[in-house]
Amino acid sequence: MEEQQRRALRRGRARLVAALRVEPLWDPLEQRGLFTRPMLEELQSTGSRGEQARQLIIDLETRGKQAFPAFLSILRDTGQGDLADMLIQECESRPVPPLLTDLRPVELREDKQHKNVTPHERLSIPVQAESERLQMPSVPAWGSAVDKRSRDQYYEMKADPCGHCLIINNVSFSRDLGLSTREGSDIDCEKLERRFKALRFTVLTRRDLKAQEMVLELLKLSRQDHSALDCCIVVILSHGCQTSHIQFPGGVYGTDGKPIPIEKIVNYFNGSNCPSLRGKPKLFFIQACGGEQRDQGFVVDCDSPEEEAPGGSLESDATPFRVSLDNVDEPDAIASLPTPSDILVSYSTFPGFVSWREKSSGSWYVEMLDSVLEQYAHSEDLLSMLVRVAHAVSAKGRYKQIPGCFNFLRKKFFFMCH
C-alpha cells in the first residue's frame, strides 16, 4: 500500500470508526483475497462494531498494494460510497510534512578525528560522532520519504506520546514472608520514570501492589485502546523466583508473597487479549531474580583489574522456587495461546540466578539500562543497546550477573527521541 493511501486511512479513521458498517464487508473482504477467514474471525472477536472497524482499518494497511482500491470498491458495493469518497479526498489532499525532518541518515564520510584510536578508546567517542561515522540514522524518518523497505525493517514510531509505560515498583513486603525490603528500588523507579518520559511515553507508576492488584493494573492497561499509539512498555521491579513455564521463564512477587509468572503478564498483551496492540512492539523490563544461584564467574584473560565487589549494601532479589498455591500463580490457558509476536522481554539476570541491587545506587541492571538509553537511544536500536547493557553489567562486582532477553520482535525498534 502506498504511503498516501496509508495516510488517508489514518486521517479518515475517526469517521470510519463512527460510521462504517462492518457486517456487509466480511464476505467481500474474503472473496477479494484481502483477508482469510481466520483473520476475519479474529477481527470479529475484537468487540463492538466500532472496535471491529478500528482494527479493520489498522490491519488493512498490511494487506498489500491492491488493498486500498479493493476496499474502496467494496465500500461502494455495500452502499457506503460516501466513505469511499471521503478516503479518496484524503488520499488526494496535500501530505503533512514529515514529523522528523531533522532526523535523517548523515552522509558517509571519513572521520579523521577518530581515525587512529584503539578499540578501547573508541568506547569513549561521543555518540553523535560515532553514529555519523557509521552512517547510522538516529531514528527512521517516518513520512512520505520513507520507502516500503524501510517500513518493513523498522517499527513506525510517529505517535506523540509513543505509548503507555506502566512501572510497578514493589519495595515493602509483608514481614512474615521472609522477603526483605528492596532498598534502592525507589532509585531505580525514579530513573526509569525520567528516562521513559524523555522518550515520549506516558508513564504511570504503582508502588507496593499485592499480586491481585498487579494483575488488575496489567489488565487495565491491556484493555485500553492503543490504536493511536505505537508501543507499550511494562516495567516490574520486585522480588522474583523460578516458576514453571512454557514460553517465558520466571515470576515476580506481589507484596503479599504471591508470585505471578512473567508468562502470564506478557500474555495479557498478546494479539488475542490486546487487539489494539497487534503488530506493535510490546516491551517488558523485569528487574527481579530468576532464582537463587549466585554466579561466581570464570577466569578470563583481561587487561584491566577486576572491579572490586561492592560493600555491605549489596542485596539480591532472590526468593526460593515455590509450588503454586493460588489461582493467581498459574498462567492462563497456556496451551491455547497464539505464538508471541512483537514482544520483547528483557530480564535483569539469567534464569535461575540472582539479580544484584545496591541500597545507595539501585540495581546494576537498571543503572546500566538507564545509562545506555541516555547515551544511545537516539542512535541505536533496542537490541544493540541491550547488548551494551549486558556487557556493562557482566563486568561488575565479585559476584557476576548477565542480563538477557527473549526477543520476538519482527523488526528493528528505535525509540523516538526529541
> What confidence tens digit (pLDDT) does each residue in 130-168 have?
333 334 444 555 443 344 446 678 999 999 999 999 999
352 pLDDT band, cuts 50/70/90, is low
Determine the pLDDT at residue 369. 93
354 pLDDT band, cuts 50/70/90, is low
The upper half-sphere exposure of residue 76, i.e. CA atoms within 13 Å in the direction of its Cβ, equals 10
Whether 271 and 338 have beta carbons less than 8 Å apart is answered as yes
Average pLDDT value over all residues in the chain: 76
pTM value surpassing 0.85: no
In the structure grid, which three cell numbers stand for residue 43, read together?
477481527
Determine the pLDDT at residue 194. 95
Single-letter amino acid, residue 218 = L
The single residue listed with the C-alpha cell 532477553 is 405
Whether 401 and 394 have beta carbons less than 8 Å apart is answered as yes
Domain ranges for the chain:
3-92, 153-300+307-408
Q: Which of 198-207, 219-228, 385-394 has the lowest mean pLDDT?
A: 385-394
Helix runs in 81-223, H state only: 81-92, 119-122, 127-133, 148-153, 185-198, 211-222
* Alpha-carbon dihedral 300, 305, 310, 311, rounded to 10 degrees: 120
Whether 72 and 88 have beta carbons less than 8 Å apart is answered as yes
The pLDDT tens digits for 207-250 are: 999 999 999 999 999 999 999 999 999 999 998 887 777 778 88
d(CA 202, CA 183): 26
d(CA 202, CA 196): 8
316 pLDDT band, cuts 50/70/90, is low
The pLDDT tens digits for 4-40 are: 888 888 888 888 988 999 899 999 999 988 888 878 8
Q: How many CB atoms lie within 10 A of CB 234?
A: 23
Q: How would you class 376 by CB atoms within 10 Å of its CB: exposed for 0-12, middle for 13-18, buried for 19 or more?
A: buried
**Catalytic site includes residue 417:** no
In the structure grid, which three cell numbers stand for residue 225, read together?
485502546
The greatest distance separating any two alpha carbons of the chain, rounded to the nearest whole angstrom, comes to 76
Give the CA radius of gyration of the chain.
24
Q: Which of 60-74, 89-103, 184-198 has the lowest mean pLDDT?
A: 89-103
Q: Compute CA 417 distance to the chain's CA centroid, rounded to the nearest angstrom.
A: 15
Single-letter amino acid, residue 13 = R
Please report, for residues 134, 167, 177, 192, the alpha-carbon distance to residue 205 in angstroms, rounded to integers and kept in the order given. Answer: 37, 5, 24, 10
The pLDDT tens digits for 165-189 are: 999 999 999 888 788 888 889 999 9
d(CA 319, CA 355): 11
Whether 90 and 8 have beta carbons less than 8 Å apart is answered as yes
Q: Which of 60-74, 145-159, 197-211, 321-335 has the lowest mean pLDDT?
A: 321-335
CATH fold for domain 3-92: Death Domain, Fas (1.10.533)
355 pLDDT band, cuts 50/70/90, is low
77: closest CA among 32, 142, 46, 123? 32
d(CA 332, CA 51): 24
Catalytic residue among 189, 241, 289, 405: 289
Please report, for residues 47, 268, 400, the alpha-carbon distance to residue 275 in angstroms, rounded to integers and kept in the order given. Answer: 9, 11, 40
Whether 262 and 248 have beta carbons less than 8 Å apart is answered as yes
317 pLDDT band, cuts 50/70/90, is low
Mean pLDDT of 113-133: 41
CATH number of 153-300+307-408: 3.40.50.1460
Please report, for residues 8, 32, 193, the alpha-carbon distance to residue 91 in angstroms, rounded to integers and kept in the order given. Answer: 5, 22, 39
398 pLDDT band, cuts 50/70/90, is low
Angle formed at CA 263 by CA 184 and CA 294, multiple of 5 degrees: 45
181: closest CA among 170, 166, 167? 170
329 pLDDT band, cuts 50/70/90, is very low
Give the three-state DSSP class for 163.
strand
Q: DSSP letter at 340? A: P
Q: Which of 262-276, 320-334, 374-388 has the lowest mean pLDDT?
A: 320-334
Angle formed at CA 386 by CA 262 and CA 142, multiple of 5 degrees: 100
Query: What order do you get walking across the sheet with 314-316 strand by strand?
Result: 314-316, 356-358, 362-363
Catalytic residue among 239, 274, 378, 405: 239
- Omega of the bond prior to 161 within 30 degrees of 0, cis? yes
343 pLDDT band, cuts 50/70/90, is very high
Position 301 pLDDT exceeds 70: no
If one compares 236 and 322, the residue with the highest pLDDT of the two is: 236
